[in-house]
Chains A and B, each alone.
Chain A
Amino acid sequence: MLTSLTITSLYVLDQDQALDFYVGTLGLEVGTDADLGFMRWLTVRVPGETREVLLERPGPPAMDGTTAEQVRDLVTKGASAGTLFFNTDDVQQTWDDLKAKGVELPEEPTSRGYGTDFGFRDPFGNHVRIAQLPG
């Protein structure tokens, strides 16, 4: 029987830039940042949570150069299925904070059937949404 989901992976084009964005700007914390030799194992998580997101750079030797280029193409087109949904207890404050930090925010917090949320992109094209759900 499965007990939890621990790690999901997200393609990023540059791990330093990803770290800067997800930790420096969004306020996640580093789970692990280790040079394994063959790869940099870099995970981030919401402070206090156990579920982590692996920020993985597409490239050799995990995939050949041509495939990596295809992945990079898809990520930058917003078509790599990289989507992260976060919850917050104050969506407007979060939006204001990110705006003040210079994050590109194409939409303002909007009331939907399920709560109030807004979406934007990480520096590479992955989709990030932040929601305040009722209750």
Chain B
Amino acid sequence: MTRAKEERNRAMLRARDAMDAGYDRELDVAALARLACCSPSHFIRTFSATFGETPHRYLQRRRVERAMYLLRSTSTSVTDVCWSVGFSSLGTFVRTFVRIVGETPTAYRARGPLPAVPTCFAMRWLRPSGLTEESSFGEAPAATPGLASRSC
């Protein structure tokens, strides 16, 4: 590995941190690519090579993770949860949530409160990445083969 690779890693991590911090805002690939100091197409390619998923997929699942947290740890309405994690359409939110988590936001909420852990660890461990061999906490069971690993 070269120092250039390390700098590339660090730049991709910078863009990923920006998604973790700004998931509730409109984030476009152009802005993230600027943060990582590369062109949009190069950014998408390099991010995927670095973290194993596209930036879009990462952000979408960050938003779903934050929604999962809000649903189970607050009494915020499903509609408000949708807006506050950065989705701009309730239909898209519910459809995406069901595809990734395997149940509706309302059904997921009925599982009850999540244990309290520092937010950064919750964000690291509870994002339904679909990258584990076994089902991660809150990840949809293997009933939807292909979908979980489809790049967005």
Contact = CB atoms under 8 A, between A and B. Distances in A.
Interface of A: 13, 69-70, 72-73, 76-78, 85, 104, 106-107, 110, 112-114, 117, 119-121, 124-125, 127, 129
30 contacts: A70-B1, A72-B1, A72-B6, A73-B1, A76-B6, A76-B10, A76-B13, A77-B9, A77-B13, A77-B51, A78-B13, A78-B16, A78-B17, A104-B14, A106-B14, A106-B21, A107-B20, A107-B21, A110-B119, A112-B118, A112-B119, A113-B116, A114-B116, A114-B118, A117-B119, A121-B13, A121-B14, A124-B10, A125-B10, A127-B120
Nearest to A119: B120
Nearest to B1: A69
A127 B13 CA distance: 11
Contact of A106 (B18, B51, B116): B18
Contacts of A78: 13, 16-17
Contacts, number: 53
Contacts of A121: 13-14, 17
A53 B21 CA distance: 27
Contacts of A129: 118, 120
Q: Chain B at the A interface: mostly helix, strand, loop or mixed?
A: helix
B54 interface: no
Contacts of B16: 78
Given A107-B20, A117-B119, 14 more contacts: A13-B6, A72-B1, A73-B1, A76-B10, A76-B13, A77-B12, A77-B13, A78-B16, A78-B17, A106-B22, A114-B116, A121-B17, A125-B13, A129-B118
B5 A73 contact: yes
Interface string B30-46: 00000000000000000
A70 B73 CA distance: 38
B136 interface: no
Contacts of B118: 85, 112, 114, 129
Nearest to B12: A77
Contact of B17 (A106, A113, A117): A106
A13 B7 CA distance: 12
B58 to A, nearest CB: 13
Interface in B111-144: 116, 118-120
B78 to A, nearest CB: 21
The 5 closest A-B pairs by CB, nearest first: A76-B9, A107-B21, A106-B21, A69-B1, A106-B17
